[in-house]
Amino acid sequence: MHKRHLFDIVTKTDDSLRAELTTIQNQVQRLQKSVARLEQHLELAPYSESSAAAGSAARTADQVRSSESWESKIGEFWLARAGVVVLLLGIAFLVSYPFEWLSPAQLSLAAYVVVAGVFALAYHWDKKFKHLANLVFGGGLVLVYFVTLKLHFLTTAPVLTSKALGLAATVSILAAIFYFAIRRGSAFMTSMFFLLSCATSTISDTDHFALALLTLVAVAGTFVLVKYRWQMAFVASMVLVYLTELLWMFNNPLIGRPVEVIPENGIGLAYLFAYGALFALPIVLRRETGLTTLMELAVTTVNALGVFVVASLAGLLLFPSHLPAVNLLIASFFLAIAALSWVQRQSKYGSAINACFGYLGLSVAIFTQFQPPHLFIWLAWQSLLVISTAIWFRSRIIIVVNSLIYSGFFLAYLKLAESNDFVNLSYAAVGLISARILNWKQERLELKTDMIRNAYLATALIIVLYGLYHAVPSAYVSISWLGAALFYFGMSVLLSNRKYRWLTFLTILAVVSRVLLIDMASLGAGLRIVMFLVVGSALLVLSLFYAKRRQGASGEINSPTDGD
């Protein structure tokens, strides 16, 4: 009996396994058919062991070729660069070595002979090894510049005793370097020309010549951007010019002079604005420079930073008694560039960034000219001028930056200065007017949210409560706040604006809080009664107004015209 039972169990298990295997086999067959249809649709060759092996072999071959390619690049190009640099350094040390049996003139002549050999080697390799020839040729130009510079500079026994002749010879070599850079279409060689020119400006230890040479670098940098679209060379020229100007202003410490500021170096301020104007030309004028939006943003920022930092330091260190005038000049320069950028080509980033730096300079001028509390009055009303510029330029960037600066000045006033009625009135008026202007020109500025507008209204709410608290006697603060709430309510009715109703509610909340927490305990019995009756009546009147509106007596407030 037990054997028969065991046999039945085994039989049933075997049948179950057969059924499951059959199901799996059917699923595999369906999957194979689906894969075959997919291969046919994509026009792929059917999978086979040979094709898999061929694919694996192809991947292996690609990896080998990639490895060989990297090896070839390193061996042929990077080793060549390193070798040329090391070789040229060796030659530079050689031509600088003071051979005692040769006079300075003979040493210079021998150095030119060695440099001629370098150029001959570059010419010999020009057809077979083009990249090596270019490297050696560029290095030869650097060597001939170095040898020519040593005719008067960087030596104790100059061949040319006249600095003017030494500079003339060096500048002629720089002109040759720029010529060959343009002729060969080499942005790298052009950047090298910028570096050597700025080095010459520093080594010359002069004033007008050094700054005029930097001006020529600015002209050349602008030229290669407009003509050849060499963006990185243009950026290199900007950075090098402003750094060299900064070194010159601090008495050229790189040539061994002490770090100090010389009053006569104030002439550099005029040259500085010339550099800034030249570098801004491609952005201001309608020139096809191939600059992407990001590159235009970077170029404009680098130029503005260079001018602002160097000019601010010059004003602070060279003209401390005329600091407001210098910063007003800085502001005028940037605002002029911003206006031209917008008028000529409506450059959003060019006009916005220059305008921001211009108003930063104006803020510094106000800081250095006025003392609190008049300082904060000027800073408050400056915000409206910035907003008007932002509307003209259709710039959200200026609006955002101005709101942050305005909020910072507002908080600084609340924290650092004593309450002043004129300052309070100015911030309240500017906050409300700014909010109305932003609402009026919301579409032109492409503002997606009301966050900035709400920030101006919030500053108005705070400064009104703060100003009235300090302006009126303590017993009448709540009444004055109630008057502000009624003013907001009147504005909400006049403008059909929900935001002013929120200002009304928040101000009433402040009134009720003060009445219950302070006035109840501090006021005399008679004034306390009057205060409660007035505030209570006002609240009931406002409540009655909203009750009638809800009943449909008037629907104007419920349908604001300004989208609020």
Q: Is the pTM of this model over 0.85?
A: no
Spatial separation of the C-alpha atoms in residues 354 and 366, rounded to whole Å:
18
Q: Say if CB 88 and CB 142 are below 8 A apart.
A: yes
Q: Please indicate whether residue 355 or residue 515 has the higher confidence score (pLDDT).
A: 355
Contact of 311 with 277, CB cutoff 8 Å: no
**Residue 406 or residue 127, greater confidence:** 406
441-463: average pLDDT: 76
Angle between helices 421-440 and 396-416 (to 10 degrees): 160
Q: Quickly state the pLDDT bin for 83 (edges 50, 70, 90).
A: low
Query: For position 559, what pLDDT does the model report?
Result: 43
User: What pLDDT does 41 receive?
Assistant: 54
- Which residue has better confidence, 358 or 125? 358
Range from 327-331, 420-424, 429-433, 443-447 carrying the lowest mean pLDDT = 443-447
- Average pLDDT for 261-288: 82
- Position 191 confidence tier, pLDDT thresholds 50, 70, 90: very high
| pLDDT given at position 36 | 66
Segment 321-334 shows an average pLDDT of 93
Residue 388: CB atoms within 10 A of its CB come to 12
**Among the listed ranges 40-44, 69-73, 136-140, which one has the minimum average pLDDT value?**
69-73
Residue-averaged pLDDT of the chain: 79
Written as one letter, the residue type at 545 is: F
pLDDT higher than 90, residue 244: yes
Among candidates 305, 312, 310, 344, which has minimal Cα distance to 328? 312
pLDDT > 90 fraction of the chain, expressed in percent and rounded: 23
CA pair distance 252, 256, nearest whole angstrom: 8
3-state SS of the chain: helix, strand, coil percent to 5?
80, 0, 20
Q: How far apart are CA 262 and CA 467, in angstroms?
A: 48
pLDDT score at 176 = 94
Greater model confidence, 43 or 330: 330
| CA atoms 21, 23, 26, 31: torsion sign | negative
